[in-house]
């Protein structure tokens, strides 16, 4: 601590000076303590010492031993100056630590010969766990799209719900393997999420996996910036499950495309966006943000938000009719939740009401839900429908993957789930060629 204080005071822009311009009738001039906060902002503090300027050594900031006795004893004057100089140093440091203006603070508290009351610096409150997440979001907002910030904000919300459940604060030190297991259990079986009118208890496995993924990224960011010590976060396993979801065939997409919405005009923009998504294979973040400059020679040249890869897709006549003929490439703006809500109404009006069973896991349980097909339609249905339909039409997989962004054929086949459909259709054709019993 002593060495630290010496280093701090040595770096302070403060010194003793004797002003020749202030010479009195007896030939003496006052010695001041000068503090320079900046080249334009400085102040002088008067001491109780005055001597003729010729007896002041500017280089050493000391009084010459030849000073006549009539002005005082050199040793006593030096002791007095040192005491007042240290007092000024202490006041500057206290002002800096408490976040106050040093010059204003000095003028208010420095009085030569007066004992100044010790002023404790204001303690600097350390940021809590969630303030660090807010800082992380601010820094990431400069380099990622708003949709990613939304996912990070959801991760923060899930953690706040867990903190409320625990009834104690979450800290960096509290995150370990036990925290991970208990947090996953809470997200699976305890957390209550409001979905319009009906609350839902527990999250899907892939939603939990996303929360863990971004928690892990957040912790690694804090480590890289040396805000927290490094620790192994490999225990934060990003869980996921193979998604069982629907796709729409070309006939069903055509039904939606040709749907008469003259009595439901507020649904037109959601229908049009949906069709564009089904005919391009883009993600919602891409097909909902198309711009005029992305059209070249009848092709859409789009930089995918997620992968940052450039994708070139031919514009079908239907897309040209919607994008150019109807909207002049100024697509109506909407959010993903809003789109998901209204596209179900569109699909219902199109008569897509076949009961569909979707199976998913919740912890170690398998949950099966049966709903009309329109109730399963969402923004992601577009992309899945495009990939599946193109696959079933025998479009080369590498061409489909160039648009979908899948890195391996294995992940692509698992995504489209069309292999089983294609095989079943082949078996059906074989059966039709055989004689019936």
Q: Clarify whether residues 67 and 214 are in a common domain.
A: no
The predicted model scores a pTM of 0.60
Q: Among 285, 306, 376, which Cα is nearest to 144's?
A: 306
Could you tell me if 400 and 391 are in contact, meaning their C-beta atoms sit under 8 angstroms apart? yes
Burial (CB < 10 A; 0-12, 13-18, 19+), residue 161, is: middle
- Give the chain's length: 437
Q: Clarify whether residues 188 and 302 are in a common domain.
A: no
Question: At residue 224, does pLDDT exceed 90?
Answer: yes
Within-domain flag for 363: yes
Condensed to tens digits (0 to 9), the pLDDT of residues 391-413 reads 888 899 999 988 887 888 888 88
Within-domain flag for 43: yes
Q: Clarify whether residues 81 and 134 are in a common domain.
A: no
Within-domain flag for 187: yes
Quick one: pLDDT band at residue 116, thresholds 50, 70, 90?
very low
Quick one: pLDDT band at residue 256, thresholds 50, 70, 90?
very high
Within-domain flag for 325: yes
Q: Clarify whether residues 279 and 149 are in a common domain.
A: no
Question: At residue 10, does pLDDT exceed 90?
Answer: no
Q: Clarify whether residues 209 and 290 are in a common domain.
A: no
Write down which residue in 75, 109, 143 finishes a domain: 109
Domain that holds residue 350: 255-433
Quick one: pLDDT band at residue 120, thresholds 50, 70, 90?
very low
Mean pLDDT of 199-225: 92
Q: Clarify whether residues 259 and 133 are in a common domain.
A: no
Q: Clarify whether residues 220 and 290 are in a common domain.
A: no
Condensed to tens digits (0 to 9), the pLDDT of residues 284-323 reads 888 888 888 888 888 888 887 777 778 888 888 998 899 8
Q: Clarify whether residues 146 and 195 are in a common domain.
A: yes
Q: Clarify whether residues 195 and 316 are in a common domain.
A: no
Question: At residue 81, does pLDDT exceed 90?
Answer: no
- Which token pair is 139? 């820094």
419 Cβ neighbours under 8 A, 6+ residues apart: 413
Within-domain flag for 163: yes
φ, ψ at 64 (rounded to 5°): -65, 145
Q: Clarify whether residues 103 and 153 are in a common domain.
A: no
CATH code of the domain containing 383: 1.10.443.10
Question: At residue 169, does pLDDT exceed 90?
Answer: yes
Looking at the 3D structure of the chain, how many domains does it have? 3
Could you tell me if 216 and 190 are in contact, meaning their C-beta atoms sit under 8 angstroms apart? no
Mean pLDDT of 328-357: 91
Within-domain flag for 243: no
Question: At residue 280, does pLDDT exceed 80?
Answer: yes
Question: At residue 9, does pLDDT exceed 60?
Answer: no
Of 427 and 153, the one with more pLDDT: 153
Locus of tokens 């100056």: 81
Q: What's the rounded Cα separation, in Å, for the pair 376 and 30?
A: 87
Q: Clarify whether residues 302 and 417 are in a common domain.
A: yes
Quick one: pLDDT band at residue 158, thresholds 50, 70, 90?
very high
CA distances from 380 to 20, 111, 259, 282, 375 (A): 82, 73, 20, 9, 13
Question: At residue 250, does pLDDT exceed 60?
Answer: yes
Write down which residue in 172, 207, 224 finishes a domain: 224
Quick one: pLDDT band at residue 275, thresholds 50, 70, 90?
very high
CA distances from 51 to 80, 83, 178, 351, 418 (A): 13, 18, 73, 102, 98
Mean pLDDT of the chain, nearest integer: 84
Quick one: pLDDT band at residue 354, thresholds 50, 70, 90?
very high
Mean pLDDT of 88-94: 86
Within-domain flag for 120: no
Q: Clarify whether residues 402 and 312 are in a common domain.
A: yes
Mean pLDDT of 22-34: 83
Q: What's the rounded Cα separation, in Å, for the pair 192 and 200?
A: 6
Please give the share of the chain, as a percent, with pLDDT higher than 90. 35
CA distances from 261 to 257, 271, 348 (A): 10, 9, 12
Within-domain flag for 36: yes
Write down which residue in 172, 205, 224 finishes a domain: 224
Helix (H) or strand (E) segment spanning residue 211: helix 205-224
Quick one: pLDDT band at residue 278, thresholds 50, 70, 90?
very high
Burial (CB < 10 A; 0-12, 13-18, 19+), residue 285, is: middle
Question: At residue 92, does pLDDT exceed 90?
Answer: no
Q: What's the rounded Cα separation, in Å, for the pair 391 and 380?
A: 17
């Amino acid at each position: 601590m002593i060495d630290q204080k010496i280093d701090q005071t040595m770096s302070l822009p403060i010194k003793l000076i004797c002003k020749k311009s202030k010479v009195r009738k007896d030939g003496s001039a006052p010695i001041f303590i000068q503090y320079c906060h900046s080249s334009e902002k400085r102040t002088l503090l008067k001491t109780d010492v005055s001597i003729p300027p010729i007896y002041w050594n500017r280089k050493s900031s000391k009084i010459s031993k030849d000073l006549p006795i009539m002005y005082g004893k050199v040793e006593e004057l030096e002791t007095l100056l040192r005491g007042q100089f240290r007092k000024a140093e202490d006041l500057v440091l206290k002002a800096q630590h408490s976040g106050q203006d040093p010059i204003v603070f000095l003028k208010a508290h420095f009085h030569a010969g007066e004992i100044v009351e010790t002023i404790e610096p204001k303690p600097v409150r350390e940021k809590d766990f969630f303030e660090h997440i807010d800082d992380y979001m601010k820094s990431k907002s400069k380099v990622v799209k708003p949709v990613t910030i939304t996912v990070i904000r959801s991760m923060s919300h899930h953690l706040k719900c867990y903190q409320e459940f625990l009834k104690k604060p979450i800290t960096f030190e509290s995150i370990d393997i036990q925290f991970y297991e208990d947090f996953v259990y809470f997200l699976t079986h305890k957390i209550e999420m409001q979905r319009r009118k009906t609350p839902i208890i527990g999250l899907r496995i892939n939603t939990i996996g996303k929360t863990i993924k971004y928690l892990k990224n957040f912790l690694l960011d804090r480590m890289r910036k040396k805000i927290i010590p490094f620790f192994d976060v490999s225990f934060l396993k990003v869980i996921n499950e193979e998604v069982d979801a629907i796709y729409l065939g070309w006939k069903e997409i055509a039904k939606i495309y040709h749907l008469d919405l003259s009595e439901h005009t507020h649904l037109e923009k959601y229908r049009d966006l949906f069709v564009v998504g089904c005919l391009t294979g883009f993600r919602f973040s891409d097909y909902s943000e198309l711009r005029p400059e992305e059209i070249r020679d009848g092709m859409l040249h789009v930089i995918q938000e997620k992968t940052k890869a450039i994708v070139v897709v031919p514009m079908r006549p239907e897309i040209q009719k919607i994008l150019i003929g109807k909207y002049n490439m100024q697509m109506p703006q909407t959010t993903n939740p809003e789109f998901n809500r209204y596209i179900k109404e569109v699909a219902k009006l199109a008569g897509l009401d076949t009961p569909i069973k979707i199976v998913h896991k919740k912890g170690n349980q398998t949950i099966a839900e049966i709903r009309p097909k329109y109730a399963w339609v969402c923004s992601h249905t577009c992309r899945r429908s495009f990939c599946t339909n193109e696959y079933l039409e025998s479009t080369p997989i590498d061409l489909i993957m160039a648009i979908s962004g899948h890195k391996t054929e294995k992940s692509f086949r698992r995504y489209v789930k069309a292999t089983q459909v294609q095989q079943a259709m082949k078996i059906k054709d074989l059966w039709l060629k055989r004689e019936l019993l």
